[in-house]
């Protein structure tokens, strides 16, 4: 089941462009050109899905495009059909700017067939020069190896670039027009929770919606939620979410009656957060038409600390199930929902969700543990991938249960699956390996339940973070690496020093020996904020492509240079890729300004 957002899913438009000279040339190229478009459409449709599970759809221009009139007809057709991403394909020479896609708000790429009977790649170069001159950044794609004219296969290097571009462009298109929902506002002076509407509007094309936390209390008190669902949710929670040890001093512990009330309250809070984000038709039946509509939020966050948590149960349980790919209704798409309303962590979580189709981890980037420090406090050596030190990713009580590492592939390895691949056994293991401990009363006077687990397995993950810098604007940082399964004896000692009721993921970035990736310590030392968004898989290259579409420069990454794919005009800003990225982003400015 996908989350119910308003607006149709974006489509990918394929533009077969052609040499317009009739009486021989054009006719000889019609079939080959159209076939390239069809091959690209099949590649995309067979490989890509939305995070809601729907298949990506392509629209091929009704005719090949030999000149400006046909380019306009195609633009018209694409607008009618909801195209938000444009891929131009051709095997031959065409008239550069005459056949171009001139819509500035649609991300674009051009694939020029690398043959020599007809010069598709030379058209590509001419087209890219035109796009650069007109200030319309476009991605250029052509294969490394020359193909024969009759070869209808798409070489692997071309496939990789088409998929990377389309995936990132669709991510940008899905965000556009949706909302970030801020429930409450700034948490404990965290700058990322001073939600910046200008950033969301200019760079992501998104709205920002603000709802005071008292609205949650109103809905609890006035029972504005689906009461039938609430009963079902509470029963499921009682059966499946095991209450963990109370680590509070005895005099601080809540009594059983209060604890039961806290369970009821956190379940209600979860229904209310979701309804605030995407609405709920059941509320209309109960006479709450306005509340039933929701805020069309593709991402959101809950301030929690401190006003709410000083008085009421914390948001941990609710944040867990918002971000998890299942709940009492079964297996479904995870939401993107930030702890402490840190919207600048919600954004990379949203990027990760849209690029990988999986649930996202929200964490404090808490502690660098060197091998020496671990030896000192535990008497033990770190081994395996952890041998050079580890970063403690731990959130103050909430993290997606998909991060338990309890989804297993067919060989029994820990993975994080898109929801449509998750089975009931995966769900059961996630729940069995989690305890919901009464929240630490020193921090959370109102109680609540924090999720406690240790991420199992060695999973490839990518940590990212967006920061806003006055005068510069947004910058993105990316660290690919692995989760490390630390032996229990060591884990327990380290975990206890923080808060034993919280979820832990041990992270080891992939080192390059240079700059921010010189060693594990440097990665933590270069992190720009207290939080990180962690996504399953190595998606750094996809994040870089997406950031370039949105004109957000990347200030730190450990992605192989060969995988970096940005609009070709970025090359005009210098040979050093990172510096060029800053200059290009600055020159073109945000997508929606
Ligand atoms: C409970 C604490 O206030 C935590 O929430 C705090 O350490 C943070 O998570 C800061 O990001
Ligand atoms: Mn935090």
Q: CA–CA separation, 318 vs 399, rounded Å?
A: 10
Nearest to 87 by CA among 203, 1, 185, 168: 168
How much is the ipTM here?
0.98
Is residue 62 assigned to a domain? Answer: yes
Atom of ligand 1 nearest to the CA of 440: 1
Q: What is the DSSP string of 213-250?
A: THHHHHHHHTT-S-HHHHHHHHHHHHHHS-B----S-G
Shared-domain flag, residues 213 and 171: no
Number of domains composing the chain: 2
Shared-domain flag, residues 149 and 283: no
H runs (alpha helix) in 497-539: 520-525
Shared-domain flag, residues 130 and 185: no
Is residue 225 assigned to a domain? Answer: yes
Shared-domain flag, residues 146 and 192: no
Residue nearest to atom 7 of ligand 1 (CA): 396
Instruction: Determine the distance separating the centroid of ligand 1 and the alpha carbon of 396, expressed in angstroms.
Output: 5
501 contacts 318 by C-beta, under 8 angstroms: no
398 contacts 361 by C-beta, under 8 angstroms: no
Instruction: Determine the distance separating the centroid of ligand 1 and the alpha carbon of 517, expressed in angstroms.
Output: 26
Q: CA–CA separation, 391 vs 524, rounded Å?
A: 7
Q: Is the CB of 340 inside a 6 Å radius of any atom of ligand 1?
A: yes
Tokens of 377: 């406090």
Shared-domain flag, residues 161 and 189: no
| Angle value at C-alpha 396, between 393 and 402, nearest 5 degrees | 60
Shared-domain flag, residues 197 and 311: yes
Is residue 5 assigned to a domain? Answer: no
Last residue of a domain, one of 150, 175, 200: 175
Is residue 3 assigned to a domain? Answer: no
Is residue 136 assigned to a domain? Answer: yes
Known catalytic residue at 364: yes
- Binding-site positions for Mn(2+) read 340, 364, 531
Last residue of a domain, one of 127, 157, 175: 175
Q: Is the CB of 530 inside a 6 Å radius of any atom of ligand 1?
A: yes
Shared-domain flag, residues 227 and 317: yes
Domain hosting residue 333, numbered range? 179-588
Residue nearest to atom 3 of ligand 1 (CA): 443
Catalytic residue among 19, 319, 327, 340: 340
The CATH number linked to 93 is 3.40.50.1070
Q: Is the CB of 305 inside a 6 Å radius of any atom of ligand 1?
A: yes
Is residue 593 assigned to a domain? Answer: no
Known catalytic residue at 423: no
Last residue of a domain, one of 140, 157, 175: 175
Q: Is the CB of 363 inside a 6 Å radius of any atom of ligand 1?
A: no
Q: Is the peptide bond before 507 cis (omega within 30 degrees of 0)?
A: no
Catalytic residue among 19, 202, 342, 364: 364
For 290, phi and psi rounded to 5 degrees? -65, -45
Can you give the pLDDT of all 593 residues of the chain as single tens digits?
Answer: 566 899 999 999 999 999 999 999 999 999 999 999 999 999 999 999 999 999 999 999 999 999 999 999 999 999 999 999 999 999 999 999 999 999 999 999 999 999 888 888 889 999 999 999 999 999 999 999 999 988 999 999 999 999 999 999 999 999 999 999 999 999 999 999 999 999 999 999 999 999 999 999 999 999 999 999 999 999 999 999 999 999 999 999 999 999 999 999 999 999 999 999 999 999 999 999 999 999 999 999 999 999 999 999 999 999 999 999 999 999 999 999 999 999 999 999 999 999 999 999 999 999 999 999 999 999 999 999 999 999 999 999 999 999 999 999 999 999 999 999 999 999 999 999 999 999 999 999 999 999 999 999 999 999 999 999 999 999 999 999 999 999 999 999 999 998 889 999 999 999 999 999 999 999 999 999 999 999 999 999 999 999 999 999 999 999 999 999 999 999 999 999 999 999 999 999 999 98
Residue nearest to atom 4 of ligand 1 (CA): 396
Shared-domain flag, residues 163 and 193: no
């Amino acid at each position: 089941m996908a989350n119910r957002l308003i607006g149709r899913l974006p489509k990918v438009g394929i533009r077969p462009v052609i040499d317009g000279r009739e009486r021989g040339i054009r006719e000889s190229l019609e079939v080959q050109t159209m076939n390239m478009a069809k091959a690209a459409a099949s590649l995309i449709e067979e490989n890509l899905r939305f995070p809601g599970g729907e298949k990506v759809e392509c629209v091929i221009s009704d005719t090949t495009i030999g000149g400006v009139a046909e380019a306009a007809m195609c633009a018209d057709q694409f607008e009618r059909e909801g195209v938000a991403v444009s891929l131009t394909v051709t095997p031959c020479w065409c008239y550069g700017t005459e056949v171009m896609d001139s819509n500035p708000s649609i991300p674009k790429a051009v694939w020029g067939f690398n043959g020599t009977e007809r010069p598709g790649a030379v058209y590509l170069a001419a087209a890219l020069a035109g796009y650069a001159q007109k200030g319309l950044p476009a991605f250029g794609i052509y294969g490394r190896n020359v193909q024969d004219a009759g070869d209808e296969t798409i070489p692997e290097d071309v496939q990789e670039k088409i998929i990377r571009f389309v995936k990132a462009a669709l991510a940008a298109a899905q965000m556009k027009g949706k909302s970030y929902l801020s429930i409450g506002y700034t948490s404990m002076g965290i700058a990322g929770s001073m939600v910046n509407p200008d950033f969301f509007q200019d760079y992501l094309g998104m709205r920002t919606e603000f709802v005071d936390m008292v609205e949650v209390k109103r809905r609890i008190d006035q029972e504005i939620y689906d009461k039938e669902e609430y009963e079902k949710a509470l029963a499921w929670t009682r059966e499946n979410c095991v209450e963990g040890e109370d680590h509070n001093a005895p005099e601080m512990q809540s009594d059983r009656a209060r604890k039961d009330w806290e369970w009821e309250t956190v379940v209600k809070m979860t229904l209310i957060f979701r309804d605030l984000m995407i609405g709920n038709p059941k509320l209309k039946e109960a006479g709450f038409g306005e509340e039933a509509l929701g805020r069309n939020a593709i991402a959101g966050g809950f301030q929690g600390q401190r006003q709410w948590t000083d008085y009421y149960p914390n948001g941990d349980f609710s944040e867990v199930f918002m971000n998890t790919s299942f709940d009492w209704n079964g297996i479904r798409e995870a939401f993107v929902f930030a702890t402490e309303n840190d919207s600048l962590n919600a954004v990379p979580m949203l990027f990760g969700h849209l690029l990988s189709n999986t649930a996202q981890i929200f964490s404090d980037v808490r502690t660098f543990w060197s091998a020496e420090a671990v030896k000192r406090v535990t008497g033990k050596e770190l081994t395996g991938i952890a041998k050079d030190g580890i970063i403690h990713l731990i959130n103050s009580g909430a993290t997606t249960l998909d991060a338990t590492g309890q989804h297993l592939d067919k060989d029994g390895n820990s993975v994080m699956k898109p929801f449509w691949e998750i089975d009931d056994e995966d769900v059961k293991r996630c729940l069995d390996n989690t305890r919901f401990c009464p929240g630490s009363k020193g921090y959370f006077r109102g109680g609540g339940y924090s999720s406690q687990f240790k991420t199992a397995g060695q999973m490839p993950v990518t940590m990212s973070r967006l920061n806003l810098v006055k005068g510069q604007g947004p910058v993105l940082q990316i660290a690919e690496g692995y989760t490390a399964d630390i032996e229990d004896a060591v884990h327990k000692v380290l975990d206890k020093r923080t808060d034993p009721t919280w979820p832990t993921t041990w992270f080891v970035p992939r080192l390059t020996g240079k700059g921010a990736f010189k060693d594990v310590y440097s990665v933590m030392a270069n992190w720009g904020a207290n939080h990180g968004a962690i996504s399953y898989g190595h998606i750094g290259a996809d994040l870089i492509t997406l950031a370039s579409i949105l004109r957000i420069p990347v200030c730190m990454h450990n992605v192989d240079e060969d995988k970096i794919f940005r609009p070709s005009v970025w090359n005009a800003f210098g040979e050093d890729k990172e510096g060029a990225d800053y200059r290009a982003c600055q020159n073109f400015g945000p997508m929606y300004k």
